[in-house]
Chains A and B, each alone.
Chain A
Amino acid sequence: MEQYFILIITALVMGTIARLLMMKVDYRQYPTYPQSYLGHFTLGMIAAGLGAVTVPALAEKEYTAITFITLAAQHFRDVRNMERESLDNIEVTELVPRGTAYIEDIAKGFEARNYLALLTSLASGIGYFIGQHFELPMVVRILVGVAFGSIVIVIITQMLKGVSIEDIAEVKPAEISFDGPLLTINGVFVMNIGLKDSQKIFLEKGIAVEIIPKDEDAMSVLANVGQRQAIQHNASTQLGIRKDVDEPDFTPIARRNPENGNVVMAIITMNPDVDCLVEVVKRTPVLESSKRRALDVAFKSKSEKMGR
């Protein structure tokens, strides 16, 4: 046991650091509150612990001990379920709901971050063990372990970064007008608003954007209802929506222009600033579940050949 003590500690610390690095203080990234922070920190540490003991188990030829790595898989699934459940429970208390697609994306993110903790501690353990094998001094072994762990952290965080709306589309301020009772943004009908007072508020304080996809793939991402719900949710929580539960008129709705796939959305915020709205929409993450390949590479090349 003693010969592996430093190995396990090094790996555990590296794995926990990896999890901590993913806890960014940014309120778009739920949750950043003290209670969840502690919960996820502890769960991350458990994941790192599972990764840390793998190498000693292998070294001692305790191959059956590996089976308890399956515990890790179960544990991470629980993390995902826990997040999904808690977000589902608070969904009814949101003025503009997140939508199931966004919740699923967030839950998956939490699961993935635990895999990061596990893989980092595993890599650190391997690094340290290689050092031990070549009988390097203790400090060098630890450094090799840390280096291995850091490489994994860098690679996986780069992989998990994902894209935002900014990368797939252009966001521009848009014009709100009324065609009879129909709210129209840049010529796209959005919804029927009956009350004259509501119409007046829309014309006076409403701000709107048009999201123009850069290519066909982006077009199908923006067509996804879950993706649009995420944009609506982000815009309303970050800008402060001027709406209460008995005012459905002011619910932001993102509608698609069927002609060209552009998406328009109007919102009434406490402080109407269209530049802020453009910024928020740009920074909305593209949900994994909404990613599509409208035209597959094989199909594309085939159609190109046919074109020739």
Chain B
Amino acid sequence: MEFGITQFILAVVTTNKEMVSSSMTPVFYARDDEHKERLALLIAKTTQGMVHDLESGTYIIVKH
């Protein structure tokens, strides 16, 4: 069996500068949509998480 935390938000990637994290989840601010896409891909690949779009310029990376 493999153990680990799942269904957990690992990171928030956003172009919305007003977003503030109130928990342990780190927030990454992107310059534009292209940067946001790249940043999300890099974090997802590193953490083996999945990128979900919350629209209005915010992505979350979730460990499933």
Chain A interface residues toward B at CB < 8 A: 88, 92, 180-181, 192-198, 245-246, 248-249
Contacts and interface: CB of A to CB of B under 8 A. Distances in A.
Contact of B44 (A181, A192, A195, A245): A195
B28 interface: no
A87 B6 CA distance: 22
Contact of A180 (B48, B51, B53, B64): B53
B40 A245 contact: no
A187 to B, nearest CB: 19
A92 B1 CA distance: 7
Contacts of B44: 195, 246
B50 A249 contact: yes
B40 A181 contact: no
Given A180-B55, A181-B53, A246 B48 contact: yes
Among B1, B49, B52, find the residue whose CB has the most chain A CB atoms closer than 10 A.
Answer: B52
A195 B37 contact: yes
29 contacts: A88-B1, A92-B1, A180-B53, A180-B55, A181-B53, A181-B55, A192-B52, A193-B51, A193-B52, A194-B40, A194-B50, A194-B60, A195-B37, A195-B40, A195-B41, A195-B44, A195-B51, A196-B37, A197-B37, A197-B41, A198-B51, A245-B48, A246-B44, A248-B48, A248-B49, A248-B50, A248-B64, A249-B50, A249-B51
Contact of A193 (B2, B53, B55): B53
B35 interface: no
A196 B51 CA distance: 10
B31 interface: no
Contact of B52 (A194, A197, A245): A194
A92 B3 CA distance: 11
A76 B12 CA distance: 52
Given A194-B59, A248-B64, A181 B52 contact: yes
Contacts of B59: 194
A98 to B, nearest CB: 14
A42 B55 CA distance: 60
Contacts of A249: 50-51
A92 B4 CA distance: 13
